[in-house]
């Protein structure tokens, strides 16, 4: 299935530093199943940018080397196991619509039957942009539709709680359609979305972890350590740096908390984190 990583942080100039400090905490591979297709998206100065390392290219499995030099407020990374088959660009996660980035680990049960119901539930302006064939992209559009119904789709200041409810509603709707299609097994739906100001995630079926990180000292990117004098202008922003990180795979688990199954994690712009039940919304 691969891995999913998301970062929301308070200083766009220190995103590369956050990635570097997480080198040993986050994993992009599980066991012997090495991902061979990687995609990432990030928000920088109001722009939403996408990157991809295609199938067949030499791929490093360390996050800093994969991403290189990045700056921005939010980052979403998705690593996928493709078994060597080329992946079309339109099927590579994360997916983007306007300011929203979205990624999914898992699969929708009884997908062909559920797909008919899902597509019929979408308004035309969300049905037309679907470019790929994956269940993940369709689930993204369903999430966007629930955001639209809440009046939050184009609101840059939408509360994370509202986006979290839309994500929970998405999971419940998929569950309903799966039951109607005769599936007795719940779909694996680890979902993460960000508009660059807030970050929301759902754990359903696969592990999902999060951490609140404060300060980046030492910082190998800028050559700072605890002996660096406070008079160095780089020290203060590094001390004040904060971030919230989501990941489905962990290397070093220290500092990370596991999200309960069937729970929503919502991160406000202030980086305040709340965890609630999917069924409670």
pLDDT at residue 54, as a whole number: 65
Strand positions, DSSP E, 15-67: 37-44, 47-53
Phi and psi angles of residue 149, each rounded to the nearest 5 degrees, phi first: -65, -25
Beta-bridge partners for 51: 40
- State which residues form the domain around 164: 3-280
Residue 101 is encoded by which pair of tokens? Answer: 């980035």
* Residues contacting residue 259 through CB under 8 Å, at least 6 positions apart: 201, 203, 207, 208, 209, 210, 265, 275
Taking the C-alpha atoms of residue 186 and residue 258, their distance in angstroms, rounded to an integer, is 20
Beta carbons of 2 and 35 less than 8 angstroms apart: yes
- C-beta of residue 59 within 8 angstroms of C-beta of residue 79: no
CB-CB neighbours of 90 under 10 Å: 12
Q: Where residue 249 sits, what CATH number does that domain have?
A: 3.60.20.10
Euclidean distance between CA atoms 273 and 265, whole angstroms: 7
Query: Which residue ranges of the chain lie beneath pLDDT 50?
Result: 280-281
Confidence at residue 281, expressed as pLDDT on a 0 to 100 scale: 38
The pair of structure tokens assigned to 231 is 């008079």
Peptide bond preceding 218 in cis form (omega within 30 of 0): yes
- For residue 86, what pLDDT is reported? 64
CB 23, CB 63: distance < 8 Å: yes
Q: What is the tally of structural domains in the chain?
A: 1
Coil, helix or strand at residue 199? strand
For residue 21, give the 3-state DSSP assignment: helix
Nearest to 273 by CA among 214, 217, 205: 214
Q: What is the pLDDT at residue 280?
A: 44
- Model confidence over 110-119: pLDDT tens digits? 999 999 999 9
pTM: 0.94
pLDDT at 138: 97
Taking the C-alpha atoms of 5, 10, 15 and 18 in order, what is their torsion angle to the nearest 10 degrees?
-70
């Amino acid at each position: 299935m691969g891995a999913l990583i998301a970062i929301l942080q308070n200083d766009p100039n220190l995103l590369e530093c956050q990635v570097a400090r997480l080198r040993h905490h986050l994993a992009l591979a599980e066991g012997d199943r090495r991902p061979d297709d990687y995609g990432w998206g990030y928000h920088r100065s109001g722009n939403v940018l996408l990157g991809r390392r295609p199938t067949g290219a030499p791929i490093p499995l360390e996050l800093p080397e994969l991403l290189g030099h990045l700056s921005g407020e939010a980052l979403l990374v998705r690593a996928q196991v493709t078994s060597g088959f080329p992946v079309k660009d339109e099927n590579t996660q994360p997916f983007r619509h306007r300011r929203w980035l979205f990624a999914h680990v898992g699969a929708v049960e009884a997908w062909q039957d559920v797909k008919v119901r899902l597509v019929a539930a979408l308004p035309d302006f969300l049905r037309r942009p679907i470019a790929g064939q994956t269940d993940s992209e369709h689930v993204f559009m369903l999430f966007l539709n629930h955001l639209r119904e809440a009046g939050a789709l184009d609101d840059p200041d939408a509360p994370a709680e509202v986006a979290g409810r839309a994500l929970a509603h998405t999971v419940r709707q998929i569950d309903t359609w799966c039951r109607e299609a005769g599936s007795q097994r719940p779909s694996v739906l680890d979902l993460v979305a960000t508009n660059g100001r807030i970050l929301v995630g759902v754990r359903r079926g696969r592990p999902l972890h999060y951490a609140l990180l404060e300060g980046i000292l030492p910082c190998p990117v800028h050559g700072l350590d605890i002996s660096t004098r406070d008079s160095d202008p780089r020290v203060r922003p590094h001390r004040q740096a904060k971030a919230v990180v989501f990941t489905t795979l962990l290397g070093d688990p220290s500092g990370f908390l596991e999200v309960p199954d069937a729970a929503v994690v919502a991160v406000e712009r202030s980086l305040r984190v709340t965890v609630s039940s999917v069924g409670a919304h």
